[in-house]
Structure 1
Amino acid sequence: MSQFIVQPSFWDLFPDVKIAVITVHNLDNHEKGQVPPKMLDEANAGVADLIPDEPISANPLIHEWRQAFKKFKTKKGARFAVENLLKRAKKGNPVRSIDPLVDLYNAISLRTGFPIGALDLDKIKGGISLEVAKGGESFTAIGEDQPDPALPGEVIYRDDEAVTSRCWAWRDAKRVETTEDSNSILMYSECLKPEWRETHEHAMTELTKNIEKYLGATTKTQYVSFDYPAVSFE
């Protein structure tokens, strides 16, 4: 049994955030045909309704997240995890199929704007902590070979070995990347504003039902907040 814990250094910046923590077991993530292609197609097509305004920063969803990212140190160009997907889809460059699990959570993110992170649970060392970095914590991004340590004051996810996600959940670490062979997954999704919580919970329910229906997995959803800053997972 391990813990997913949010440290006081994070709550000092974002006391209103609520985070869904989802464990997925017995996942079958191999066959692309498991997930109806129309699910991702329809999500891409609906982005213009979610963020109709120009420039993109004029949309409340994007504005609120950009304001949040101003509260801590970030890498140049870092945005919240879904902004780039939304921007691409709105410009007519739809998000393409990657693997069944990613397709399912990308479809939810495109439809609702909520970021969803996923780590291979079997590759996590110990527990997961969301905290403000002291600086120098080890990190190597997916697709990179050279380490790029965390900055002092940067919001990070980390396990007992190193950083698992940079700049909140902007970029994940190569070491804990999910693949089509991943069998157990730890997922998390942040709800930035209290007024978004009902929509967020509905989105997480839809996500877990789809994972169970299309990928044959079992799921468990828990929530952390300022009043309940830690949950256990296995």
Structure 2
Amino acid sequence: MHFTHDPALRAEFPQLAVATLRLDRVTAAPDVTATAAPFLERASARLVDRSESELPEIAAWRRAYSQMGLKPTQYRCASEALLRRFKKDGELPSIHPLVDLCNAVSVAYAIPIAVFDLDHVTGDLTVTHATGTENYLSFGGATETPEPDEVIFRDDAGNAHARRWVNRQSALSAIRSETASVLIVSEAMHDTAAADVDALRAELTDALARHW
């Protein structure tokens, strides 16, 4: 499969920086606690004297959401939602070792990281504006239709694997215990985004290699 951003969307957000990874032979067996810990410590240190909304990475996504006509405090990017939960609870919920590790890296960098089960993606995956005909499967089991022009991750079968860009992933391609192959996508908009997503990809690659 090919993963791309629609050129029209790129033109709207020229500051966008993206890093991707593909990982095969995934299992749910590893214990990633020790590997995730330093990333969580970095997140804690960044939140000592400021709120998550003051981080440049989050502020940039808030501006992007405003540009898309969405209220940034109603639809938060995934990394902001994780940081809010982490700051409140002092920890992140355990979902799957791969997701747990990606979430730890996400809060350390304050950059959204999406993880898609490739066995549930049909054909290519494109970040683009919705036509309003796509299907999105919520974690509650409901099928939704994204609003026309909403930014989604769309596959060739018309499935929306994420809504409102980096706000909410679909249950269709969520990571499961039987997941074997995944696509990991990191996206950022702030001034040093290009360097930061490259650094994120390098650190995440090293962390993943310890377990898979």
Q: Above 0.5 in TM-score?
A: yes
User: What percentage of residue pairs aligned between the two structures are identical?
Assistant: 28
Count residues with an aligned counterpart. 210
Q: 1:184 aligns with which of 181, 185, 189?
A: 181
CA distance in 1, matches of 2:104, 2:166: 18
Q: Quick one: distance in 2 between partners of 1:202 and 1:68?
A: 22
Aligned in 2, Cα 1:113/1:59: closer, same or farther, shift over 3 Å? closer
Does residue 167 of structure 1 match 2:167?
no
Q: CA deviation at 1:3?
A: 1.8
- Write the deviation string for residues 50-83 of structure 1: whole angstroms up to 9, x where unpaired: 2445554333232211111112154882111111
- Within 2, Cα distance between the matches of 1:124 and 1:59? 33
SS of residue in 1 equivalent to 2:23: strand
CA RMSD across the alignment: 2.1
Q: Secondary structure at the match of 2:2?
A: strand
CA contact (8 A) 2:17 2:193 kept: no
Larger RCO (CA within 8 A; separation ≥ 6): 1
- Specify the alignment match of 1:148 in structure 2: 144
Q: Is the 8 A contact 1:133 1:153 kept in 2?
A: yes
Partner of 1:82: 79
Tell me how far 1:101 sits from its aligned partner. Answer: 0.5
Tell me by how many angstroms 1:32 deviates: 4.4
1:195-216 CA distance string (max 9 Å, x none): 232222111111112212212x
The answer on 1:31 being equivalent to 2:25 is no
Q: Residue 53 of structure 2 contacts residue 80 of structure 2 at CA under 8 Å; is this kept in 1?
A: no
Partners of 1:178 and 1:55 lie apart in 2 by 29
Q: Which runs of 5+ in 2 are unaligned?
A: none
Cα drift, residue 178 of structure 1: 1.3
Q: Find the aligned partners of 2:164 and 2:122 in 1 and give their Cα distance.
A: 20
8 Å contact 2:61–2:188 — kept in the other structure? Answer: no
Q: C-alpha separation between the residues in 2 aligned to 1:47 and 1:83? A: 12
**Are the equivalent residues in 2 in contact too, given 1:43–1:107 (CA < 8 A)?**
yes
1:44 equivalent among 40, 44, 53: 40
* C-alpha distance in 2 between matches for 1:119 and 1:46: 25
With over 3 angstroms needed to count, the CA separation of the structure-2 counterparts of 1:67 and 1:201, relative to structure 1, is same
Q: Is the 8 Å Cα contact of residues 74 and 154 (structure 1) preserved in structure 2?
A: no
Question: What secondary structure does 2:75 align onto?
Answer: coil
Change (3 A) 1:56 1:187: closer
TM-score, with structure 2 as normaliser: 0.89
1:146 CA drift (Å):
1.7
Provide the rounded CA distance (Å) in 2 between the counterparts of 1:56 and 1:119. 25
- Return the offset for 1:129: 0.7
Residue number in structure 2 paired with 1:58: 54
d(CA) in 1 for partners of 2:10, 2:39: 32
Whether the 8 Å CA contact 2:30–2:211 is kept in 1: the answer is no
